[in-house]
Structure 1
Amino acid sequence: MMNLQRLFIRFALVMLLVTVLAGVIASFAFLFPASFNSVLPFHQLRPVHASAALFWIITGAACCVGYFSGRQSKAFMVIWMITIAVIFLNYGFNNYGGREYWEFPAYLNLPLLVAWLFFMVVFLKRLPKDAPVYYWMWTSGVLFFLITFLEQNLWHIPWFRESFLREVTVQWKANGSMVGAWNQMINGLSVYLLVAISGNAGLAQKKKTWFLFFLGLFNLMFNWGHHVYNVPNSNWMRGVAYAVSMTEWVIIILIIRSFKSSLSAARKFRHLVVYRFISAAEFWVFANLLLALLMSIPAINRYTHGTHITVAHAMGTTIGINTMLLLAAFGYILDVDNLSERTRKWLQVAIRINTVSLAVFWVALIVAGLAKGYLSVDHPENSFFDVMKAVRPYLEVFTAAGLGVMIALGVIGVIYLRYSHERHSANKKEITM
Structure 2
Amino acid sequence: MKNKTALTFLVFALVTLALGILFGLLASLQYIFPTFIKSVIPFSKMRPFHVTTVISWIILAATGSIYFYMVKEEKLSLFSFKLPKAHLLLFLATGVTIYFSFMLGYTEGREYLSFSPILTIPVLLGWILFGLNYFKTLRKSVKNWPVYYWMWGTGIVFMVYHLCEAHFWLIPSFKEHFVKDIAVQWKSYGSFVGSWNMLVYGISIYIMCKIKGDEKLARGKKAFFFYFLGLTNLMFGWAHHTYIIPMQPWIRYVAYGISMTEWIILAHIIYSWKQSLSIQKQEEYPIAYKFLVVADLWVFLNLILALVFSIPAINFFTHGTHITVAHSMGTTIGINTSILFASLFFIASKLKPDFTFKKIKQYVTLYNVSLLLFWVVLLMAGIKKSHWMYFTKNVLFSEMQESLFYVYIAFFSFGLLLVISILRIITPLFFVFIKNIYQNRVMIKDEEKQAVL
Question: 2: distance between equivalents of 1:225 and 1:212?
Answer: 20
For normalisation by structure 2, the TM-score amounts to 0.89
Q: Deviations over 1:378-401 (max 9, x none)?
A: 235433233333333323211211
Question: 1: distance between equivalents of 2:42 and 2:319?
Answer: 27
Amino acid at match of 2:105: N
Question: 2: distance between equivalents of 1:304 and 1:237?
Answer: 20
Amino acid at match of 1:338: P
Please state how far the C-alpha of 1:144 moved relative to its aligned partner.
0.8
Amino acid at match of 2:88: M
Of residues 375-384 and 83-92 in structure 1, the stretch that sits farther from structure 2 once superposed is 375-384
Question: 2: distance between equivalents of 1:9 and 1:184?
Answer: 18
Match of 1:35, SS state, is: coil
Please state how far the C-alpha of 1:301 moved relative to its aligned partner.
2.4
Question: 2: distance between equivalents of 1:417 and 1:263?
Answer: 29
Task: Tell me: CA distance 1:151–1:340, structure 2 relative to 1, closer, same or farther (3 Å).
Answer: closer
Amino acid at match of 2:311: I
Question: 2: distance between equivalents of 1:130 and 1:380?
Answer: 63
Counterpart in the other structure of 2:200? 186
Counterpart in the other structure of 1:273? 287
Please state how far the C-alpha of 1:296 moved relative to its aligned partner.
2.7
Please state how far the C-alpha of 1:102 moved relative to its aligned partner.
1.4
Task: Tell me: CA distance 1:2–1:267, structure 2 relative to 1, closer, same or farther (3 Å).
Answer: closer
Counterpart in the other structure of 1:378? 391
Identical-residue share of aligned pairs (%)? 38
Counterpart in the other structure of 1:243? 257
Question: 2: distance between equivalents of 1:394 and 1:236?
Answer: 38
Contact 1:173 1:225 survives alignment (8 Å): yes
Match of 1:338, SS state, is: coil
Correspondence 1:276-355 to 2 at 5 A: 276-335=290-349, 338-341=353-356, 344-355=357-368
The aligned length equals: 423
Amino acid at match of 2:353: N
2:423 to 410, 413, 418: 410
Task: Tell me: CA distance 1:392–1:300, structure 2 relative to 1, closer, same or farther (3 Å).
Answer: farther
Amino acid at match of 2:10: I
Q: Deviations over 1:252-306 (max 9, x none)?
A: 1111111111111111111111111111101101100111111133443232222
Question: 1: distance between equivalents of 2:6 and 2:219?
Answer: 29
Q: Which runs of 5+ in 2 are unaligned?
A: 72-77, 440-453
Please state how far the C-alpha of 1:62 moved relative to its aligned partner.
1.7
Please state how far the C-alpha of 1:408 moved relative to its aligned partner.
0.9
Q: Deviations over 1:317-368 (max 9, x none)?
A: 0000000101111111121783454xx2232222111100000110011111
Question: 2: distance between equivalents of 1:301 and 1:158?
Answer: 31
1:86 and 2:97 matched: yes
C-alpha RMSD over aligned residues:
1.9
Contact 2:8 2:64 survives alignment (8 Å): no
Correspondence 1:200-211 to 2 at 5 A: 200-211=214-225
Please state how far the C-alpha of 1:52 moved relative to its aligned partner.
0.2
Counterpart in the other structure of 1:392? 405
Question: 2: distance between equivalents of 1:256 and 1:227?
Answer: 26
Amino acid at match of 1:333: I
For normalisation by structure 1, the TM-score amounts to 0.93
Counterpart in the other structure of 2:447? none
2:377 to 334, 354, 364: 364
Correspondence 1:74-113 to 2 at 5 A: 74-113=85-124
Counterpart in the other structure of 1:117? 128
Counterpart in the other structure of 1:47? 48
Task: Tell me: CA distance 1:242–1:387, structure 2 relative to 1, closer, same or farther (3 Å).
Answer: farther
Question: 1: distance between equivalents of 2:246 and 2:347?
Answer: 46
Q: Which of these two proteins has the greater Rg computed from alpha carbons?
A: 2
